[in-house]
Amino acid sequence: MKRALAVWLSLAALLPGQQNDDHDHGPLTLEVLVLQLTSASRERFRPVMTYRVDMRPRGNSWYEAKYILPEAQSCRVYEQPRMRYVCEWGLKPKRDFAAFVKQYETLLGQGWKRVDGTGKSKSVRFSAVERQRNGDWEIAELEGGIRLTIFATQSPE
One digit per residue, the tens of pLDDT, for the chain of length 157 reads 444 433 333 333 333 333 334 445 556 888 888 888 888 888 888 888 888 888 777 778 888 899 889 889 999 999 888 889 999 998 777 788 899 999 999 999 888 989 998 877 789 999 888 755 678 999 999 888 999 999 998 654 4
What pLDDT is recorded for position 13? 39
Secondary structure element (H or E) that encloses residue 137, with its range: strand 137-142
DSSP line for 7-30: HHHHHHHHSTT----SS--S---H
What pLDDT is recorded for position 132? 55
Does the pTM of the predicted model rise above 0.85? no
Amino acid identity at 97 = F
| H helix runs in 15-109, sequence order | 30-40, 97-108
Domain boundaries, the chain: 22-151
Q: What sign results for the dihedral spanned by CA atoms 65, 69, 75, 78?
A: negative
What pLDDT is recorded for position 16? 38
Q: Quick one: how far is CA 27 from the chain centroid? A: 17
